[in-house]
A and B are shown apart, each in its own frame.
Chain A
């Protein structure tokens, strides 16, 4: 693509500018980009008091526009689509947009940290420990609900798990 300013050189940079609240994308060559930057600096210096506030909102607008126009480098899914549909295009989207989707995940699940099973199924002791942890937190929850029947069942299960865990640990020693 040729530069949209001089129409002579090859455009190598996409330049986003906010005009009256609207984002305008222009593809420029390095020379015209420098020119454009020069203009921008002059403009800012010309009207210092009013541009201080405006530049913050403009920067935010540009940031927002660039943010939502971002796409996954692996599958090409747009960040905007991810946010609107609450779904990803591929597994890599989660790493690609890590910080940007975390607020959504937090709102949806109340957490952004996985505590469930892992693909490694070999370590039986790890599993016992994890089960024990879950049962203990469930016991606290049912006692709060005054569900003593369920609590008694959980207490028995916890004892079994504790016995199993100590046996496996002494066996390993």
Chain B
């Protein structure tokens, strides 16, 4: 099976050995690029997409990149295998849903990938654990410079890199941090933060947006059409934790009119401010009622070790409580790495491919995974 290698190795972002890893699950930077001589993928014919895919593959080959990773041609994969790539954030929703020749190059350590014929002809992405946006950008920048040496991308001196969607025009860069913010949510402070960011936008802190719940519900609807029967309709299949489990995605909304380093700096700066506010809110909640914290973590551990049916949304909520327990040092038997691993492997395609679960018994397979991980013995 072509995905064996990928399944065997954990994505690098699962590691907890990174700055702010207790509050930031992962940092991600994506860079959209297109060719000037063909329409964007949504307007391309299948034969045009094939030419473009061949062009990228020959560039990767000439740069000797194919020996440091694997190129997955999506039409050759089963739907569940394509879904696994999406669950690992290695392909976007639009690449998952589009048709015809398309694929993704994934580096062996899964820190870096190059998507072909998604919303844009080429999309480079770097994924790192914790808050490491500058490092992710440095990696992307280097890869972009390398590709620029062998490929001509559509560029205009006024508008910069020309992308399929207006929201990525200019630099083509989207920098994001997936953050765990339960105390700010409990204190109803997230809407205040969103408003604060909007105000900051006018004061030179442009382009940072706080994604509130709702985005993933829209994505959910899109995904339900893709292919999966039965229970999967109720599961959060992609970008799993953007709204569930007190997880939020902080991302730049503007990409034109600023330099890349500035965009990355601003997102990181706001992420650090959010992290600081979250820590203060946790300290306050803990001082007010530490027993309630311990009770929540203990109950979740108990339920996790005895559950027989578990849907993904509930699993993410439990993992959120456990993550809080690790950060507050309430449970020494747990680790962030273990929680990140479960956040990844409790997703539908992972359960189906790693545990050979049938699509109609995913809840049972997930509960088994949790029982095995948290069995008190």
How many angstroms between the C-alpha atoms of A109 and B152 in the bound complex?
25
Residues of A with C-beta under 8 A to B253: 108
Q: Once the chains bind, are A116 and B39 in contact (CB under 8 Å)?
A: no
Residues of B with C-beta under 8 A to A104: 166
Contact of B43 among A90, A147, A150 (CB under 8 A): A90
Using known A-B contacts A94-B159, A114-B160, A119-B148, determine if residue A89 contacts B166 with beta carbons closer than 8 Å: no
Residues of B with C-beta under 8 A to A113: 158, 256-257
Q: Does A38 contact B (CB under 8 A)?
A: no
Residues of A with C-beta under 8 A to B148: 119, 121
A82-105 residues with Cβ-Cβ distance < 8 A to B are 86-91, 94-95, 101, 104-105
Using known A-B contacts A95-B156, A108-B167, A118-B155, determine if residue A89 contacts B43 with beta carbons closer than 8 Å: yes
Chain A proximity of B266: nearest CB distance (Å): 8
Q: Once the chains bind, are A86 and B157 in contact (CB under 8 Å)?
A: no
Residues of A with C-beta under 8 A to B163: 88
Residues of B with C-beta under 8 A to A116: 160-161, 170-171, 173, 258-260
How many angstroms between the C-alpha atoms of A118 and B141 in the bound complex?
11
Residues of B with C-beta under 8 A to A108: 166-167, 169, 253-254, 256
What range describes how many residues of B lie at the interface? 35 or more
How many angstroms between the C-alpha atoms of A78 and B254 in the bound complex?
24
In the complex, the chain B residue whose C-beta lies closest to that of A121 is B145
Q: Once the chains bind, are B256 and A114 in contact (CB under 8 Å)?
A: yes
Using an 8 Å CB-CB cutoff, how does the interface string of A107-148 with B read, 1 for contact, 0 for none?
011111111111101000000001101110110111011010
Q: Once the chains bind, are A114 and B170 in contact (CB under 8 Å)?
A: yes
How many angstroms between the C-alpha atoms of A131 and B264 in the bound complex?
13
Q: Once the chains bind, are B261 and A131 in contact (CB under 8 Å)?
A: yes
Q: Does B206 contact A (CB under 8 A)?
A: yes
Q: Does B127 contact A (CB under 8 A)?
A: no
Q: Once the chains bind, are A114 and B43 in contact (CB under 8 Å)?
A: no
Residues of B with C-beta under 8 A to A26: none
Using known A-B contacts A108-B254, A134-B262, determine if residue A74 contacts B39 with beta carbons closer than 8 Å: yes
What range describes how many residues of A lie at the interface? 35 or more
Residues of A with C-beta under 8 A to B35: 91
Using known A-B contacts A89-B40, A116-B171, determine if residue A94 contacts B257 with beta carbons closer than 8 Å: no
Residues of B with C-beta under 8 A to A91: 34-36, 40, 154, 156, 162
Chain A proximity of B189: nearest CB distance (Å): 18
How many angstroms between the C-alpha atoms of A89 and B48 in the bound complex?
14
Q: Does B330 contact A (CB under 8 A)?
A: no
Using known A-B contacts A87-B165, A142-B269, determine if residue A115 contacts B39 with beta carbons closer than 8 Å: no
Using known A-B contacts A115-B257, A121-B148, A141-B204, determine if residue A87 contacts B158 with beta carbons closer than 8 Å: no
Q: Once the chains bind, are A105 and B34 in contact (CB under 8 Å)?
A: no
Q: Once the chains bind, are B206 and A105 in contact (CB under 8 Å)?
A: no
Using known A-B contacts A118-B155, A119-B155, determine if residue A110 contacts B254 with beta carbons closer than 8 Å: yes
Residues of A with C-beta under 8 A to B204: 137, 140-141, 144
Chain B proximity of A142: nearest CB distance (Å): 7
Residues of B with C-beta under 8 A to A18: none
Q: Once the chains bind, are B265 and A77 in contact (CB under 8 Å)?
A: no
Chain A residues engaging chain B, CB cutoff 8 angstroms: 74-77, 86-91, 94-95, 101, 104-105, 108-119, 121, 130-131, 133-135, 137-138, 140-142, 144-145, 147, 150
Chain B residues engaging chain A, CB cutoff 8 angstroms: 34-36, 38-40, 42-43, 119, 141, 144-145, 148-149, 152-167, 169-171, 173, 201, 203-207, 253-262, 265-266, 269
Known: A108-B166, A116-B170. 18 other contacts (CB 8 A): A76-B43, A87-B164, A87-B165, A88-B162, A88-B164, A89-B39, A90-B40, A91-B154, A94-B156, A101-B166, A105-B159, A112-B159, A113-B158, A116-B258, A118-B155, A133-B259, A138-B265, A142-B269
